Amino acid sequence: MNHQPPVKEMADWGPKVIDLLDRLGVPFNRTQEGHLDRRRFGGTLYKRTAFAGATTGQQLLYALDEQVRRWEAEGLVRKFEFWEFLGTITDDQGVCRGAVVQDMFSMEIRALPGDAVVMATGGCGLIFGKSTMSMICTGGANSRVYQEGAKYGNGEFLQVHPTAVPGADKLRLMSESARGEGGRVWVPRTPHDSRDPKSIPESERYYFLEERYPTYGNLVPRDIATREIFDVCVKQGLSVETERLCVYLDLTHLPATTHKKLDGILNIYQKFQGVNPRQVPMKIFPAIHYSMGGIWVDYTKDETTGGLEHGAPNNHMTNIPGLYAIGEAEYHYHGANRLGANSLLSTIFEGLITGPSIVNYINSLKSSAADAPTALFDGAVRKHKDAMDDLVGRTGNENAYRLHDELGRTMTENVTVVRYNDKIKETLTKIDEIAERFKRAPLADNGQWTNQNLSFTRALGDMIVLAKVIALGALQRDESRGAHYKPDFQIDGLDPDSGEDLTEQARRWCKQFQANNDKWLKSTIAEHTPEGPKLTYEDVDLSLLSPRPRTYGLKGAEEIMRVWNSEFAKKPVETKKPVAVSA
Protein backbone atom coordinates (compact mmCIF):
# COMPACT_ATOMS: atom_id res chain seq x y z
CA MET A 1 0.00 0.00 0.00
CA ASN A 2 3.03 2.27 0.18
CA HIS A 3 4.79 4.12 -2.60
CA GLN A 4 8.15 2.40 -2.29
CA PRO A 5 10.62 5.30 -2.80
CA PRO A 6 9.61 7.16 0.41
CA VAL A 7 9.68 3.91 2.40
CA LYS A 8 13.12 2.98 1.09
CA GLU A 9 14.41 6.43 2.00
CA MET A 10 13.01 6.11 5.51
CA ALA A 11 14.60 2.68 5.97
CA ASP A 12 17.95 3.99 4.73
CA TRP A 13 17.77 6.83 7.24
CA GLY A 14 16.84 4.57 10.18
CA PRO A 15 20.36 4.07 11.61
CA LYS A 16 21.17 7.77 11.14
CA VAL A 17 18.02 8.79 13.01
CA ILE A 18 18.94 6.54 15.95
CA ASP A 19 22.48 7.95 16.01
CA LEU A 20 21.10 11.50 15.98
CA LEU A 21 18.75 10.79 18.87
CA ASP A 22 21.55 9.11 20.78
CA ARG A 23 23.66 12.25 20.42
CA LEU A 24 20.73 14.41 21.52
CA GLY A 25 20.67 12.54 24.81
CA VAL A 26 17.90 9.95 24.48
CA PRO A 27 18.68 7.37 27.22
CA PHE A 28 18.55 4.26 25.05
CA ASN A 29 19.07 0.96 26.82
CA ARG A 30 22.54 -0.51 26.31
CA THR A 31 24.17 -3.90 26.53
CA GLN A 32 26.80 -4.72 29.14
CA GLU A 33 29.41 -3.84 26.52
CA GLY A 34 27.92 -0.36 26.05
CA HIS A 35 26.32 -0.95 22.65
CA LEU A 36 22.74 0.04 21.91
CA ASP A 37 20.42 -2.75 22.98
CA ARG A 38 17.67 -4.05 20.68
CA ARG A 39 14.40 -5.88 21.20
CA ARG A 40 11.94 -7.71 18.95
CA PHE A 41 8.68 -6.09 17.98
CA GLY A 42 5.64 -7.48 16.22
CA GLY A 43 6.08 -9.05 12.79
CA THR A 44 9.83 -9.59 13.16
CA LEU A 45 12.00 -12.57 14.00
CA TYR A 46 15.07 -10.50 14.87
CA LYS A 47 15.86 -7.80 17.37
CA ARG A 48 15.63 -4.63 15.29
CA THR A 49 14.25 -1.98 17.65
CA ALA A 50 16.35 0.40 19.73
CA PHE A 51 14.47 1.33 22.90
CA ALA A 52 14.47 3.33 26.12
CA GLY A 53 12.82 1.10 28.69
CA ALA A 54 9.11 0.93 27.91
CA THR A 55 8.72 4.68 27.32
CA THR A 56 10.78 5.22 24.16
CA GLY A 57 8.36 7.71 22.60
CA GLN A 58 8.23 9.74 25.79
CA GLN A 59 12.01 9.90 26.00
CA LEU A 60 12.19 11.07 22.37
CA LEU A 61 9.69 13.82 23.18
CA TYR A 62 11.83 15.02 26.06
CA ALA A 63 14.96 15.15 23.91
CA LEU A 64 13.28 16.91 21.00
CA ASP A 65 11.43 19.35 23.25
CA GLU A 66 14.78 20.27 24.75
CA GLN A 67 16.05 21.11 21.25
CA VAL A 68 12.98 23.26 20.54
CA ARG A 69 13.59 25.17 23.77
CA ARG A 70 17.22 25.61 22.78
CA TRP A 71 16.29 27.19 19.45
CA GLU A 72 13.56 29.20 21.14
CA ALA A 73 16.12 30.66 23.55
CA GLU A 74 18.22 31.68 20.55
CA GLY A 75 15.27 33.50 19.02
CA LEU A 76 14.81 31.12 16.08
CA VAL A 77 11.54 29.52 17.22
CA ARG A 78 8.39 31.18 18.50
CA LYS A 79 5.85 28.91 20.11
CA PHE A 80 2.12 29.50 20.15
CA GLU A 81 1.10 27.12 22.92
CA PHE A 82 -2.60 26.55 23.60
CA TRP A 83 -3.57 27.96 20.22
CA GLU A 84 -5.88 25.88 18.04
CA PHE A 85 -5.53 25.55 14.26
CA LEU A 86 -8.73 26.64 12.51
CA GLY A 87 -7.75 26.58 8.85
CA THR A 88 -5.34 27.59 6.12
CA ILE A 89 -5.19 30.89 4.25
CA THR A 90 -4.99 30.50 0.48
CA ASP A 91 -4.68 33.21 -2.15
CA ASP A 92 -6.49 33.51 -5.50
CA GLN A 93 -4.06 31.02 -7.07
CA GLY A 94 -4.79 28.41 -4.39
CA VAL A 95 -1.36 28.83 -2.75
CA CYS A 96 -1.19 28.49 1.02
CA ARG A 97 -0.14 31.79 2.60
CA GLY A 98 -0.57 31.05 6.29
CA ALA A 99 -2.97 29.76 8.93
CA VAL A 100 -5.80 31.03 11.12
CA VAL A 101 -5.47 30.10 14.81
CA GLN A 102 -7.35 30.74 18.04
CA ASP A 103 -5.97 31.42 21.51
CA MET A 104 -7.83 28.93 23.70
CA PHE A 105 -7.44 31.17 26.75
CA SER A 106 -8.54 34.60 25.45
CA MET A 107 -10.46 33.11 22.44
CA GLU A 108 -8.73 35.63 20.16
CA ILE A 109 -8.68 34.58 16.49
CA ARG A 110 -5.78 35.78 14.39
CA ALA A 111 -3.93 35.09 11.17
CA LEU A 112 -0.36 33.84 11.04
CA PRO A 113 1.12 34.71 7.62
CA GLY A 114 3.61 32.15 6.34
CA ASP A 115 5.12 30.93 3.11
CA ALA A 116 4.61 27.33 4.22
CA VAL A 117 2.35 25.60 6.73
CA VAL A 118 3.17 22.13 8.09
CA MET A 119 0.44 19.88 9.47
CA ALA A 120 1.99 17.75 12.23
CA THR A 121 -1.33 17.21 13.94
CA GLY A 122 -1.45 13.47 14.63
CA GLY A 123 -4.24 10.96 14.16
CA CYS A 124 -8.01 10.87 14.61
CA GLY A 125 -8.60 8.44 17.48
CA LEU A 126 -11.48 10.36 19.08
CA ILE A 127 -13.66 9.60 16.07
CA PHE A 128 -13.92 6.16 17.69
CA GLY A 129 -14.88 7.61 21.06
CA LYS A 130 -11.89 6.29 22.97
CA SER A 131 -8.41 5.35 21.80
CA THR A 132 -4.84 5.10 23.03
CA MET A 133 -4.11 8.46 21.38
CA SER A 134 -3.99 11.77 23.19
CA MET A 135 -7.36 13.26 24.13
CA ILE A 136 -6.70 16.07 21.65
CA CYS A 137 -6.38 13.67 18.69
CA THR A 138 -9.78 14.49 17.21
CA GLY A 139 -8.56 14.60 13.63
CA GLY A 140 -10.17 18.06 13.53
CA ALA A 141 -7.19 19.87 12.03
CA ASN A 142 -6.74 17.22 9.34
CA SER A 143 -10.45 17.33 8.56
CA ARG A 144 -10.32 21.11 8.20
CA VAL A 145 -7.62 21.08 5.54
CA TYR A 146 -9.47 18.19 3.84
CA GLN A 147 -12.59 20.34 3.71
CA GLU A 148 -10.48 23.16 2.27
CA GLY A 149 -9.34 20.98 -0.63
CA ALA A 150 -6.47 18.82 0.59
CA LYS A 151 -6.76 15.20 -0.52
CA TYR A 152 -7.01 12.48 2.12
CA GLY A 153 -5.38 9.09 1.49
CA ASN A 154 -6.25 5.59 2.75
CA GLY A 155 -8.61 6.82 5.45
CA GLU A 156 -10.04 3.34 6.02
CA PHE A 157 -6.74 1.98 7.33
CA LEU A 158 -6.57 2.37 11.12
CA GLN A 159 -4.53 0.22 13.45
CA VAL A 160 -6.17 -1.46 16.40
CA HIS A 161 -3.44 -2.23 18.96
CA PRO A 162 -3.90 -5.65 20.56
CA THR A 163 -2.98 -4.66 24.12
CA ALA A 164 -4.67 -1.73 25.85
CA VAL A 165 -6.34 -1.16 29.21
CA PRO A 166 -9.92 0.17 29.23
CA GLY A 167 -10.55 3.39 31.14
CA ALA A 168 -13.46 5.73 31.77
CA ASP A 169 -11.70 8.59 29.97
CA LYS A 170 -9.46 6.85 27.44
CA LEU A 171 -7.73 3.56 26.60
CA ARG A 172 -4.17 3.22 27.89
CA LEU A 173 -1.59 1.44 25.79
CA MET A 174 0.33 -1.49 27.17
CA SER A 175 3.27 -1.25 24.80
CA GLU A 176 4.39 -4.03 22.50
CA SER A 177 7.62 -3.88 24.49
CA ALA A 178 5.87 -6.08 27.09
CA ARG A 179 5.60 -8.92 24.56
CA GLY A 180 8.99 -8.04 23.08
CA GLU A 181 10.51 -8.78 26.49
CA GLY A 182 8.72 -12.12 26.83
CA GLY A 183 5.16 -11.28 27.89
CA ARG A 184 2.64 -14.02 27.03
CA VAL A 185 -1.01 -13.64 26.00
CA TRP A 186 -3.45 -16.30 27.21
CA VAL A 187 -6.93 -17.14 28.44
CA PRO A 188 -8.17 -19.99 30.65
CA ARG A 189 -9.50 -22.90 28.60
CA THR A 190 -12.59 -22.75 30.84
CA PRO A 191 -14.74 -19.73 29.85
CA HIS A 192 -14.80 -16.92 32.45
CA ASP A 193 -12.68 -18.95 34.89
CA SER A 194 -12.93 -17.07 38.20
CA ARG A 195 -9.86 -18.64 39.79
CA ASP A 196 -6.78 -16.60 40.62
CA PRO A 197 -4.89 -16.68 37.30
CA LYS A 198 -1.67 -17.67 39.07
CA SER A 199 -3.39 -20.82 40.37
CA ILE A 200 -4.51 -22.00 36.91
CA PRO A 201 -2.22 -24.83 35.76
CA GLU A 202 -0.30 -24.48 32.49
CA SER A 203 -2.32 -27.33 30.99
CA GLU A 204 -5.52 -25.32 31.52
CA ARG A 205 -4.17 -22.17 29.86
CA TYR A 206 -4.69 -21.40 26.19
CA TYR A 207 -1.66 -19.55 24.80
CA PHE A 208 -3.52 -19.04 21.55
CA LEU A 209 -0.99 -16.84 19.74
CA GLU A 210 1.84 -19.27 20.48
CA GLU A 211 -0.25 -22.26 19.40
CA ARG A 212 -1.57 -20.69 16.19
CA TYR A 213 1.64 -18.91 15.15
CA PRO A 214 4.53 -20.98 16.53
CA THR A 215 7.19 -19.07 14.54
CA TYR A 216 6.23 -15.60 15.74
CA GLY A 217 4.36 -16.48 18.92
CA ASN A 218 3.18 -13.44 20.85
CA LEU A 219 4.91 -11.12 18.37
CA VAL A 220 2.76 -11.63 15.31
CA PRO A 221 1.89 -8.35 13.55
CA ARG A 222 -0.58 -6.18 15.40
CA ASP A 223 -3.53 -6.67 13.06
CA ILE A 224 -3.25 -10.45 13.41
CA ALA A 225 -2.86 -10.38 17.20
CA THR A 226 -5.87 -8.07 17.44
CA ARG A 227 -8.09 -10.32 15.33
CA GLU A 228 -7.05 -13.41 17.29
CA ILE A 229 -7.87 -11.74 20.62
CA PHE A 230 -11.20 -10.62 19.18
CA ASP A 231 -11.89 -14.13 17.88
CA VAL A 232 -11.04 -15.81 21.19
CA CYS A 233 -13.24 -13.43 23.18
CA VAL A 234 -16.19 -12.97 20.82
CA LYS A 235 -16.48 -16.12 18.71
CA GLN A 236 -15.04 -18.66 21.14
CA GLY A 237 -16.49 -17.04 24.26
CA LEU A 238 -13.24 -17.37 26.21
CA SER A 239 -13.04 -13.83 27.58
CA VAL A 240 -11.51 -13.73 31.06
CA GLU A 241 -14.46 -11.71 32.40
CA THR A 242 -18.20 -11.96 31.77
CA GLU A 243 -18.94 -8.22 31.94
CA ARG A 244 -16.22 -7.07 29.56
CA LEU A 245 -14.02 -8.59 26.90
CA CYS A 246 -10.38 -9.12 27.89
CA VAL A 247 -7.47 -11.59 27.90
CA TYR A 248 -4.42 -11.94 30.09
CA LEU A 249 -1.09 -10.35 29.24
CA ASP A 250 1.23 -12.16 31.62
CA LEU A 251 4.61 -10.86 32.75
CA THR A 252 4.68 -12.52 36.15
CA HIS A 253 7.19 -15.15 35.01
CA LEU A 254 9.79 -12.56 33.95
CA PRO A 255 12.76 -11.71 36.18
CA ALA A 256 13.00 -8.48 38.16
CA THR A 257 15.60 -7.12 35.75
CA THR A 258 13.07 -7.35 32.90
CA HIS A 259 10.34 -5.81 35.04
CA LYS A 260 12.71 -2.91 35.61
CA LYS A 261 12.97 -2.36 31.86
CA LEU A 262 9.18 -2.22 31.67
CA ASP A 263 8.57 -0.01 34.71
CA GLY A 264 7.11 2.75 32.54
CA ILE A 265 4.04 0.77 31.50
CA LEU A 266 3.82 -1.44 34.58
CA ASN A 267 3.52 1.62 36.79
CA ILE A 268 0.76 3.01 34.56
CA TYR A 269 -1.18 -0.23 34.84
CA GLN A 270 -0.76 -0.33 38.61
CA LYS A 271 -1.82 3.31 38.94
CA PHE A 272 -5.03 3.00 36.95
CA GLN A 273 -6.01 -0.61 37.72
CA GLY A 274 -4.83 -0.88 41.32
CA VAL A 275 -3.10 -4.21 40.64
CA ASN A 276 0.64 -4.93 40.49
CA PRO A 277 1.24 -6.52 37.04
CA ARG A 278 4.58 -7.91 38.27
CA GLN A 279 2.57 -10.26 40.48
CA VAL A 280 -0.79 -10.60 38.71
CA PRO A 281 -1.38 -10.92 34.92
CA MET A 282 -2.75 -7.79 33.25
CA LYS A 283 -6.19 -7.76 31.66
CA ILE A 284 -6.10 -6.18 28.21
CA PHE A 285 -8.15 -5.81 25.02
CA PRO A 286 -7.52 -4.20 21.61
CA ALA A 287 -7.99 -0.46 21.08
CA ILE A 288 -7.78 2.07 18.24
CA HIS A 289 -4.16 3.18 18.22
CA TYR A 290 -2.88 4.69 14.96
CA SER A 291 -4.05 6.21 11.68
CA MET A 292 -2.16 4.72 8.75
CA GLY A 293 -4.23 6.91 6.46
CA GLY A 294 -3.98 10.67 6.46
CA ILE A 295 -3.51 13.76 4.37
CA TRP A 296 -2.22 12.94 0.87
CA VAL A 297 1.34 14.16 0.24
CA ASP A 298 3.63 14.14 -2.77
CA TYR A 299 7.30 13.22 -3.35
CA THR A 300 10.03 13.19 -5.99
CA LYS A 301 11.85 9.92 -6.62
CA ASP A 302 15.63 9.85 -6.96
CA GLU A 303 16.14 7.68 -10.03
CA THR A 304 19.69 6.81 -8.95
CA THR A 305 19.05 5.60 -5.39
CA GLY A 306 15.41 4.59 -5.74
CA GLY A 307 14.63 6.73 -2.69
CA LEU A 308 13.69 10.40 -2.45
CA GLU A 309 15.35 13.33 -4.14
CA HIS A 310 16.68 15.33 -1.22
CA GLY A 311 15.42 18.89 -1.10
CA ALA A 312 12.76 18.45 -3.78
CA PRO A 313 10.18 21.15 -2.92
CA ASN A 314 7.22 18.78 -3.27
CA ASN A 315 8.46 16.18 -0.76
CA HIS A 316 5.59 15.92 1.72
CA MET A 317 3.66 18.77 0.10
CA THR A 318 -0.09 18.27 -0.17
CA ASN A 319 -1.98 19.08 -3.36
CA ILE A 320 -2.31 22.63 -1.95
CA PRO A 321 0.97 24.44 -2.79
CA GLY A 322 2.74 25.52 0.38
CA LEU A 323 0.80 23.16 2.66
CA TYR A 324 2.85 20.22 3.98
CA ALA A 325 1.96 17.28 6.23
CA ILE A 326 4.22 15.02 8.28
CA GLY A 327 3.90 12.32 10.92
CA GLU A 328 0.67 10.48 11.65
CA ALA A 329 -1.23 13.30 9.92
CA GLU A 330 -0.10 12.04 6.48
CA TYR A 331 -0.55 8.72 4.70
CA HIS A 332 2.81 7.77 3.14
CA TYR A 333 4.72 5.18 5.15
CA HIS A 334 2.63 2.55 6.90
CA GLY A 335 0.24 1.19 4.28
CA ALA A 336 -2.39 -1.18 5.63
CA ASN A 337 -0.66 -2.07 8.92
CA ARG A 338 2.11 -0.19 10.71
CA LEU A 339 4.92 -2.16 12.33
CA GLY A 340 5.86 -1.43 15.94
CA ALA A 341 8.28 1.50 16.54
CA ASN A 342 8.02 2.68 12.93
CA SER A 343 5.78 5.62 13.87
CA LEU A 344 8.65 7.18 15.83
CA LEU A 345 11.10 6.55 13.00
CA SER A 346 8.80 7.90 10.29
CA THR A 347 7.83 11.04 12.19
CA ILE A 348 11.40 12.09 12.89
CA PHE A 349 12.60 11.10 9.43
CA GLU A 350 9.82 13.12 7.83
CA GLY A 351 10.80 16.21 9.77
CA LEU A 352 14.42 15.81 8.69
CA ILE A 353 13.59 15.23 5.02
CA THR A 354 10.86 17.87 4.76
CA GLY A 355 12.72 20.81 6.31
CA PRO A 356 15.16 21.30 3.40
CA SER A 357 12.30 20.80 0.92
CA ILE A 358 10.36 23.65 2.53
CA VAL A 359 13.41 25.92 2.37
CA ASN A 360 13.80 25.21 -1.34
CA TYR A 361 10.09 25.74 -1.94
CA ILE A 362 10.16 29.12 -0.20
CA ASN A 363 13.28 30.14 -2.11
CA SER A 364 11.50 29.33 -5.38
CA LEU A 365 8.52 31.60 -4.68
CA LYS A 366 8.17 34.74 -6.78
CA SER A 367 6.26 36.45 -3.95
CA SER A 368 5.89 35.74 -0.25
CA ALA A 369 3.09 35.90 2.29
CA ALA A 370 4.52 39.23 3.38
CA ASP A 371 3.59 40.63 -0.03
CA ALA A 372 -0.02 39.44 0.15
CA PRO A 373 -2.71 42.06 0.77
CA THR A 374 -3.94 42.45 4.33
CA ALA A 375 -7.47 41.86 3.05
CA LEU A 376 -6.53 38.21 2.42
CA PHE A 377 -5.71 37.64 6.09
CA ASP A 378 -8.50 39.84 7.46
CA GLY A 379 -11.02 37.96 5.33
CA ALA A 380 -9.79 34.59 6.58
CA VAL A 381 -10.06 35.72 10.20
CA ARG A 382 -13.53 37.13 9.57
CA LYS A 383 -14.69 33.82 8.09
CA HIS A 384 -13.69 31.90 11.20
CA LYS A 385 -15.08 34.53 13.56
CA ASP A 386 -18.41 34.30 11.76
CA ALA A 387 -18.32 30.50 12.04
CA MET A 388 -17.62 30.77 15.77
CA ASP A 389 -20.44 33.29 16.23
CA ASP A 390 -22.82 30.94 14.42
CA LEU A 391 -21.78 28.10 16.73
CA VAL A 392 -22.11 30.23 19.86
CA GLY A 393 -25.56 31.37 18.74
CA ARG A 394 -26.81 27.91 17.81
CA THR A 395 -30.01 26.63 19.43
CA GLY A 396 -31.49 23.15 19.64
CA ASN A 397 -32.10 20.14 21.84
CA GLU A 398 -29.11 17.93 20.98
CA ASN A 399 -26.00 17.39 23.10
CA ALA A 400 -22.58 17.35 21.40
CA TYR A 401 -21.09 14.95 23.96
CA ARG A 402 -23.90 12.43 23.49
CA LEU A 403 -23.54 12.71 19.73
CA HIS A 404 -19.81 12.05 20.06
CA ASP A 405 -20.55 8.98 22.17
CA GLU A 406 -22.93 7.67 19.51
CA LEU A 407 -20.42 8.34 16.74
CA GLY A 408 -17.67 6.57 18.69
CA ARG A 409 -19.81 3.53 19.43
CA THR A 410 -21.01 2.99 15.86
CA MET A 411 -17.51 3.47 14.44
CA THR A 412 -15.95 1.14 17.03
CA GLU A 413 -18.58 -1.56 16.56
CA ASN A 414 -18.60 -1.59 12.76
CA VAL A 415 -15.39 -0.07 11.36
CA THR A 416 -12.54 -1.49 13.47
CA VAL A 417 -11.41 -5.10 13.87
CA VAL A 418 -13.91 -6.97 11.65
CA ARG A 419 -15.86 -5.20 8.89
CA TYR A 420 -19.06 -6.26 7.12
CA ASN A 421 -20.59 -4.20 4.34
CA ASP A 422 -24.11 -4.26 5.76
CA LYS A 423 -22.83 -2.91 9.09
CA ILE A 424 -20.72 -0.25 7.39
CA LYS A 425 -23.79 0.88 5.43
CA GLU A 426 -25.66 1.18 8.73
CA THR A 427 -22.75 3.24 10.04
CA LEU A 428 -22.85 5.61 7.07
CA THR A 429 -26.58 6.10 7.62
CA LYS A 430 -25.90 6.77 11.30
CA ILE A 431 -23.17 9.30 10.43
CA ASP A 432 -25.62 11.18 8.20
CA GLU A 433 -28.16 11.17 11.02
CA ILE A 434 -25.59 12.46 13.50
CA ALA A 435 -24.53 15.17 11.03
CA GLU A 436 -28.13 16.44 10.86
CA ARG A 437 -28.60 16.32 14.61
CA PHE A 438 -25.27 18.11 15.09
CA LYS A 439 -26.82 21.19 13.49
CA ARG A 440 -29.15 21.31 16.52
CA ALA A 441 -26.41 20.87 19.14
CA PRO A 442 -25.88 24.20 20.96
CA LEU A 443 -22.97 25.06 23.21
CA ALA A 444 -23.36 24.43 26.92
CA ASP A 445 -20.90 27.28 27.58
CA ASN A 446 -21.06 30.59 25.73
CA GLY A 447 -18.20 32.09 27.66
CA GLN A 448 -15.46 34.13 26.01
CA TRP A 449 -12.62 32.76 28.10
CA THR A 450 -10.98 29.32 27.77
CA ASN A 451 -14.14 27.77 26.34
CA GLN A 452 -13.37 24.06 25.98
CA ASN A 453 -16.98 23.30 25.07
CA LEU A 454 -16.60 25.48 21.96
CA SER A 455 -13.41 23.72 20.92
CA PHE A 456 -14.89 20.24 21.40
CA THR A 457 -18.16 20.96 19.62
CA ARG A 458 -16.36 22.53 16.66
CA ALA A 459 -14.07 19.50 16.47
CA LEU A 460 -17.05 17.14 16.57
CA GLY A 461 -18.35 18.66 13.34
CA ASP A 462 -14.98 17.95 11.74
CA MET A 463 -14.88 14.42 13.16
CA ILE A 464 -18.23 13.65 11.54
CA VAL A 465 -16.86 14.68 8.14
CA LEU A 466 -13.74 12.53 8.52
CA ALA A 467 -15.73 9.57 9.88
CA LYS A 468 -17.59 9.43 6.58
CA VAL A 469 -14.29 9.32 4.68
CA ILE A 470 -13.18 6.36 6.80
CA ALA A 471 -16.45 4.44 6.58
CA LEU A 472 -17.00 5.01 2.85
CA GLY A 473 -13.43 3.93 2.08
CA ALA A 474 -13.98 0.79 4.14
CA LEU A 475 -17.25 0.04 2.39
CA GLN A 476 -15.87 0.33 -1.13
CA ARG A 477 -12.68 -1.67 -0.48
CA ASP A 478 -13.95 -5.23 -0.93
CA GLU A 479 -10.88 -7.13 0.20
CA SER A 480 -8.88 -7.98 3.33
CA ARG A 481 -5.56 -6.19 3.64
CA GLY A 482 -3.69 -5.55 6.88
CA ALA A 483 -5.88 -3.83 9.44
CA HIS A 484 -8.78 -3.71 6.96
CA TYR A 485 -10.36 -7.12 7.46
CA LYS A 486 -13.52 -8.25 5.69
CA PRO A 487 -14.23 -11.96 6.27
CA ASP A 488 -16.55 -12.00 3.25
CA PHE A 489 -13.58 -11.20 0.99
CA GLN A 490 -10.83 -13.15 2.74
CA ILE A 491 -8.81 -15.64 0.65
CA ASP A 492 -8.76 -18.81 2.76
CA GLY A 493 -5.77 -21.12 3.05
CA LEU A 494 -5.38 -24.57 1.55
CA ASP A 495 -7.29 -27.67 2.61
CA PRO A 496 -4.99 -30.72 2.79
CA ASP A 497 -7.99 -32.98 3.58
CA SER A 498 -10.03 -32.05 0.51
CA GLY A 499 -8.45 -34.68 -1.73
CA GLU A 500 -7.49 -32.04 -4.28
CA ASP A 501 -3.85 -31.71 -5.26
CA LEU A 502 -2.19 -29.22 -2.91
CA THR A 503 -0.16 -27.63 -5.69
CA GLU A 504 -3.29 -26.98 -7.73
CA GLN A 505 -4.93 -25.43 -4.67
CA ALA A 506 -1.90 -23.22 -4.18
CA ARG A 507 -1.93 -22.22 -7.85
CA ARG A 508 -5.60 -21.20 -7.58
CA TRP A 509 -4.85 -19.28 -4.36
CA CYS A 510 -2.03 -17.38 -6.07
CA LYS A 511 -4.28 -16.47 -8.99
CA GLN A 512 -6.86 -15.07 -6.58
CA PHE A 513 -4.17 -13.15 -4.71
CA GLN A 514 -2.80 -11.71 -7.94
CA ALA A 515 -6.25 -10.70 -9.19
CA ASN A 516 -7.01 -9.04 -5.87
CA ASN A 517 -3.78 -7.03 -6.05
CA ASP A 518 -4.49 -6.00 -9.61
CA LYS A 519 -7.78 -4.54 -8.40
CA TRP A 520 -6.99 -3.29 -4.89
CA LEU A 521 -3.27 -2.65 -4.53
CA LYS A 522 -4.08 1.05 -4.82
CA SER A 523 -4.37 3.97 -2.44
CA THR A 524 -7.82 5.35 -1.70
CA ILE A 525 -7.89 9.11 -2.35
CA ALA A 526 -10.79 11.13 -0.93
CA GLU A 527 -11.71 14.63 -2.05
CA HIS A 528 -14.28 16.75 -0.24
CA THR A 529 -17.50 17.75 -1.99
CA PRO A 530 -20.72 19.22 -0.56
CA GLU A 531 -22.40 15.86 -1.23
CA GLY A 532 -19.73 13.91 0.66
CA PRO A 533 -16.39 12.27 -0.13
CA LYS A 534 -15.48 11.60 -3.75
CA LEU A 535 -13.22 8.55 -3.88
CA THR A 536 -10.66 7.67 -6.53
CA TYR A 537 -7.81 5.15 -6.47
CA GLU A 538 -4.14 5.87 -7.02
CA ASP A 539 -1.65 3.34 -8.38
CA VAL A 540 1.17 2.46 -6.00
CA ASP A 541 4.83 2.77 -7.05
CA LEU A 542 6.13 -0.83 -6.97
CA SER A 543 9.37 -0.15 -8.82
CA LEU A 544 11.71 -1.52 -6.12
CA LEU A 545 10.10 -4.70 -4.76
CA SER A 546 7.34 -6.89 -6.12
CA PRO A 547 4.44 -7.71 -3.77
CA ARG A 548 4.33 -11.21 -2.34
CA PRO A 549 1.75 -13.11 -0.28
CA ARG A 550 1.48 -12.46 3.45
CA THR A 551 1.06 -15.94 4.91
CA TYR A 552 1.20 -15.64 8.72
CA GLY A 553 -0.66 -18.65 10.11
CA LEU A 554 -2.14 -19.53 6.70
CA LYS A 555 -2.75 -23.21 6.00
CA GLY A 556 -0.50 -24.41 3.21
CA ALA A 557 1.75 -21.35 3.46
CA GLU A 558 4.90 -23.21 2.38
CA GLU A 559 3.26 -24.60 -0.74
CA ILE A 560 1.71 -21.22 -1.57
CA MET A 561 5.11 -19.54 -1.38
CA ARG A 562 6.77 -22.30 -3.42
CA VAL A 563 4.21 -21.93 -6.20
CA TRP A 564 4.28 -18.13 -6.00
CA ASN A 565 8.07 -17.95 -6.28
CA SER A 566 8.25 -20.46 -9.12
CA GLU A 567 5.25 -19.39 -11.21
CA PHE A 568 3.96 -15.95 -10.24
CA ALA A 569 6.73 -13.78 -8.80
CA LYS A 570 7.66 -10.89 -11.05
CA LYS A 571 10.54 -8.50 -11.16
CA PRO A 572 9.71 -4.97 -10.04
CA VAL A 573 8.15 -2.91 -12.80
CA GLU A 574 9.36 0.65 -13.25
CA THR A 575 6.41 2.82 -12.37
CA LYS A 576 6.01 6.37 -13.51
CA LYS A 577 4.35 9.00 -11.35
CA PRO A 578 1.29 7.36 -9.74
CA VAL A 579 -2.00 8.28 -11.36
CA ALA A 580 -5.49 8.35 -9.90
CA VAL A 581 -8.33 6.42 -11.49
CA SER A 582 -12.01 6.80 -10.71
CA ALA A 583 -13.77 4.11 -8.72
Phi, psi of 295 (to 5 degrees): -65, 130
Query: 386: how many CB neighbours lie within 10 A of its CB?
Result: 10
Of the candidates 478, 480, 477, 484, the one whose C-alpha atom is nearest the C-alpha of residue 554 is: 480
**CA separation for the pair 486, 334 (Å, rounded):** 19
Positive or negative: CA dihedral 268, 269, 275, 276: negative
CB 101 within 8 Å of CB 112: yes
CB 331 within 8 Å of CB 294: yes
Positive or negative: CA dihedral 338, 342, 347, 351: negative
Give the DSSP letter of residue 235: I
Q: How far from chain centre, in Å, is Cα 360? A: 29
CB 524 within 8 Å of CB 560: no
**CA separation for the pair 298, 280 (Å, rounded):** 49
Give the DSSP letter of residue 497: T
Residue 74 CB partners (closer than 8 Å, separation 6+): none
Give the DSSP letter of residue 557: H
Q: What is the 3-state secondary structure (H, E, C) of 182-221?
A: CCEEEEECCCCCCCCHHHCCHHHEECHHHHHCCCCHHHCC
Q: Annotated catalytic residue: which of 39, 97, 184, 222? A: 222
Q: Is 7 exposed, middle or buried (0-12, 13-18, 19+ CB in 10 A)?
A: buried
**CA separation for the pair 73, 316 (Å, rounded):** 28
Q: Provide the angle, in degrees to the nearest 10, between the axes of the packed helices 400-414 and 421-438.
A: 170
CB 290 within 8 Å of CB 222: no
Give the DSSP letter of residue 567: I
Phi, psi of 188 (to 5 degrees): -65, 145
**CA separation for the pair 150, 330 (Å, rounded):** 11
Q: Can you spell out the DSSP letters for 141-166?
A: HHHHHHHTT--EE-TT-EEEEEEEE-
**CA separation for the pair 444, 169 (Å, rounded):** 20
172 sits in which H/E element: strand 172-173
**CA separation for the pair 337, 356 (Å, rounded):** 29
Radius of gyration of the chain (CA): 25
Is 195 an annotated catalytic residue?
no
- The residue type found at 181 is E
Residues known to be catalytic: 222
